[in-house]
């Protein structure tokens, strides 16, 4: 997410073998819409049952789900998130809702805010927004919102037919969540109930669709900002969210699957990372420190600190650039080239290896420099400026838009696996910006690279035990007239830095 109309002051620096440019820049970030050419085939509809592979069948006499109706139902871009239009209440109030696979609440603005154009007015819904009387709050590293849980009717203009009662968090106040001139008014969390707030009893949006429509428990996502400048003025859809299955016109080649390690975030197991053809040679547990997840609500590829440092070292060692400002790597500066010059030839490909469903094998996701050296703006028509689409993380590895834009991603919850295929919109000048290959032997890595799997019910028990210990210490300290123990309980808050309001163009 970015403040499109806000005036941003950034410093841009580039040092290359043949010259150095230092540009003080006042950056206006705008509404960036990207186009993709999607070839449509004859109308195909999907059944409300699944075949043996967990994928949807290709006929539906009731017409409840039509995949081609969902093609290009997302707008947005890689720096600001992708959103879908929903109609809430009766009569329907149309809202743009950010698609986020890294959270599980469906929340919409229900009160005025200076940074949004409109909000869901619960008083105008004749279907009567039903408050449950239960408060809900979600806190991100940057930004938070507070509201009340309720329920109302929701329809998806470019989704499955019908109107359904859905749990909705009405956002009544927020800080740092809505930013200037964004074009969305809420968030659609597509992860598992375990992440739902205030507790897992709140059924997430997609789970409700599966239960009410009987569609297969699978959705797929195409994000079409790959290799395109954030300053592009092209006005077109930004991608597709296919609910109930996969749409074959959106990808090419086979779908490669990796198991979902744990059903909270979409947690996967990363086996290794290569820069060019060189393995970083790290213990595979380094890649999965804390967790490794696939999250459409995160812009960048985020890596644990040790992995990030090793990657930057490997890139600088293999790059044709002799010197480079450290500010480029840490995200505080952009690098600028003369107009018409592109930097991608200076940088190597990046590859992630994921464990395959056959645990003794892996497959490789490769992104070209066009995906992680991202064009942001130009300066006076003479310079093109770029950012580094990778950042460090203290909360695990996050496969965000930097990687996802190269692939069609299948969230096959029915068979507890994620699929990756080449996206047909990840193309520039007729050439693909991503690659996928396999299978490869996983015999050279540990049988389990994910380390300790986080399980929130277990964390509850641990939390309560720690609280009991803290209470005991508090009593002792009070008796000794020492400063009381202060209990810090962060459960119920999403504090992962990979979450929504993080690493956007600000």
Q: Is 133 left (phi over 0), alpha (psi -120 to 50) or beta?
A: left
- Do residues 242 and 318 touch, judged by C-beta distance below 8 A? no
To which residue do tokens 């400063």 refer?
483
Question: At a CB cut-off of 8 Å and minimum separation 6, what does 199 contact?
Answer: 492
Nearest to 1 by CA among 251, 280, 314, 230: 230
CA torsion, ordered 88, 166, 212, 69, to nearest 10 deg: 40
**Checking DSSP bridges between strand 239-243 and strand 163-175, what pairing results, if any?**
unpaired
**What's the start-to-end Cα distance of the chain, in Å?**
8
Distance set, CA 353 to CA 210, 279, 451 (Å) = 31, 10, 17
| Kind plus residue range of the DSSP H or E element containing 107 | strand 106-109
Q: How far apart are CA 267 and CA 249, in angstroms?
A: 27
| Kind plus residue range of the DSSP H or E element containing 457 | helix 456-479
Positions marked catalytic:
100, 295
Q: Burial letters for 145-167: b for 16+ Cβ neighbours within 10 Å, e otherwise?
A: bbbbbbbbbbbbebbbeeebebb
| Kind plus residue range of the DSSP H or E element containing 477 | helix 456-479
Nearest to 88 by CA among 174, 175, 171: 171
Secondary structure of residue 29 in the 3-state scheme: coil
């Amino acid at each position: 997410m970015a403040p499109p109309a806000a005036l941003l002051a950034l410093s841009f620096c580039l040092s290359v073998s043949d010259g150095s440019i230092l540009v003080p820049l006042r950056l206006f970030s705008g509404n960036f819409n990207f186009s993709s050419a999607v070839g449509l085939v004859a109308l195909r509809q999907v059944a409300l049952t699944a075949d043996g592979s967990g994928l949807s069948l290709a006929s539906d006499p009731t017409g409840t789900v039509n995949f081609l109706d969902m093609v290009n139902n997302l707008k947005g871009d890689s720096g600001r998130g992708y959103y879908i239009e929903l109609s809430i209440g009766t009569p329907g109030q149309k809202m743009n809702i950010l698609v986020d696979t890294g959270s599980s609440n469906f929340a919409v603005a229900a009160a005025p805010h200076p940074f949004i154009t409109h909000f869901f007015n619960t008083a105008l819904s004749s279907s009567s927004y039903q408050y449950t009387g239960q408060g809900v709050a979600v806190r991100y590293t940057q930004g938070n919102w507070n509201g009340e849980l309720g329920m109302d009717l929701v329809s998806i203009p470019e989704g499955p037919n019908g109107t359904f009662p859905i749990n909705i968090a009405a956002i009544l106040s927020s800080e740092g969540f809505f930013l200037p001139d964004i074009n969305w008014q809420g968030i659609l969390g597509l992860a598992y109930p375990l992440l739902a707030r205030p507790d897992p009893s709140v059924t997430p949006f997609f789970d409700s669709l599966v239960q009410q429509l009987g569609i297969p428990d699978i959705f797929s996502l195409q994000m079409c900002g790959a290799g395109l400048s954030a300053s592009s003025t092209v006005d077109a859809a930004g991608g597709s969210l296919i609910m109930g299955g996969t749409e074959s016109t959106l990808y090419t080649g086979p779908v490669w699957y990796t198991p979902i390690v744990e059903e909270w975030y979409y947690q996967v197991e990363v086996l290794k990372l290569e820069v060019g053809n060189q393995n970083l040679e790290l213990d595979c547990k380094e890649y999965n420190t804390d967790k490794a997840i696939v999250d459409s609500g995160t812009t960048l590829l985020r890596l644990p600190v040790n992995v990030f440092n090793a990657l930057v070292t490997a890139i600088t060692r293999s790059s044709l650039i002799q010197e480079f400002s450290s500010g480029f790597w840490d995200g505080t500066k952009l690098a600028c080239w003369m107009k018409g010059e592109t930097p991608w030839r200076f940088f190597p490909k990046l590859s992630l290896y994921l464990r395959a469903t056959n645990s003794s094998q892996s497959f490789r996701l490769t992104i070209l420099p066009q995906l992680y050296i991202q064009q942001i703006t130009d300066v006076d028509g003479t310079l093109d400026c770029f950012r580094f689409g990778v950042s460090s993380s203290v909360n695990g590895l996050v496969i965000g838009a930097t990687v996802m834009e190269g692939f069609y991603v299948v969230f096959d919850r029915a068979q507890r696996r994620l699929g990756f295929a080449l996206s047909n919109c990840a193309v520039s000048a007729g050439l693909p910006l991503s690659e996928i290959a396999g299978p490869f032997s996983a015999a050279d890595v540990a049988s389990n690279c994910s380390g300790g799997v986080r399980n929130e019910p277990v964390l509850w028990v641990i939390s309560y035990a720690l609280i009991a210990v803290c209470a005991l210490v508090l009593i002792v300290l009070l008796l000794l007239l020492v400063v009381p123990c202060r209990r810090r309980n962060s459960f119920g808050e999403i504090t992962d830095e990979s979450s929504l309001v993080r690493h956007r163009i600000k």
